[in-house]
């Protein structure tokens, strides 16, 4: 219980103390989601979904001619095309927030959206 109370208090103090710093930080490292592309469990690319990577594509080439093309458009990411037979990853559509990843099982490619604001327990310490 005690720890749960400390977390929002810590964030509030940091926010109150760091208004100017937060503005500076915003420019250096904008908050937002990052698209992470994994192949066979290994991260091969990270693309910021803050609009700066608009139009960027990541071509993932695998064994036996497997190929997935991940594309970012604005603040969203999607599987533009894939060589897999099921096309489930292509049909997964747009992703712009953490949650269900785009998975291409045949080609062992996973695209996740990871938020900068999530999983930051370390900041509390
Ligand atoms: Zn697929």
> How far, in Å, is the centroid of ligand 1 from the Cα of 1?
44
pLDDT tens digits, one per residue of 90-124: 999 999 999 899 999 999 999 999 986 644 444 44
pLDDT tens digits, one per residue of 54-96: 999 999 999 999 999 999 999 999 999 999 999 999 999 999 9
Q: What is the pLDDT of residue 82?
A: 98
> How far, in Å, is the centroid of ligand 1 from the Cα of 86?
6
> How far, in Å, is the centroid of ligand 1 from the Cα of 67?
9
What secondary structure letter does DSSP report for 88? H
CB 79 within 8 A of CB 69: yes
Picking from 90, 78, 82, 40, the residue whose alpha carbon sits closest to that of residue 65 is 82
> How far, in Å, is the centroid of ligand 1 from the Cα of 95?
15
Q: Which tokens in the block code for residue 11? A: 């964030």
Q: Let me know if 81 is exposed, middle or buried by CB neighbors in 10 A (0-12, 13-18, 19+).
A: middle
- Where in the chain are the domains? 1-29, 31-116
* 31-116 has CATH 3.40.50.1100 classification: no
Q: What is the pLDDT of residue 42?
A: 97
Q: What is the pLDDT of residue 32?
A: 81
Q: What is the pLDDT of residue 65?
A: 95
pLDDT tens digits, one per residue of 8-38: 665 565 666 654 554 444 455 456 899 999 9
Picking from 102, 90, 119, the residue whose alpha carbon sits closest to that of residue 47 is 102
Q: What is the pLDDT of residue 97?
A: 92
Q: Let me know if 115 is exposed, middle or buried by CB neighbors in 10 A (0-12, 13-18, 19+).
A: middle
> How far, in Å, is the centroid of ligand 1 from the Cα of 44?
17
> How far, in Å, is the centroid of ligand 1 from the Cα of 93?
12
Q: DSSP string covering 2-54, please?
A: HHHHHHHHHHHHHHHHTHHHHHHHHHHS---EEEEEEETTEEEEEEETTTTTT
């Amino acid at each position: 219980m005690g720890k749960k109370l400390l977390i929002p208090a810590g964030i509030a103090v940091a926010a109150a103390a760091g208004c100017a710093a937060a503005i500076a930080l915003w420019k250096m490292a904008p908050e937002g989601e990052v698209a992470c592309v994994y192949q066979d469990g290994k991260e091969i690319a990270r693309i910021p979904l803050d609009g700066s990577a608009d139009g960027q594509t990541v071509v993932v080439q695998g064994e036996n001619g497997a190929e997935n093309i991940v594309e970012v458009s604005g603040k969203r990411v999607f599987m533009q095309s894939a060589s897999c037979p099921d096309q489930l990853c292509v049909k997964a559509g747009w992703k712009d927030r953490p949650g269900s990843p785009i998975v291409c099982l045949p080609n062992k490619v996973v695209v996740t959206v990871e938020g900068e604001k999530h999983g930051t327990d370390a900041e509390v310490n």
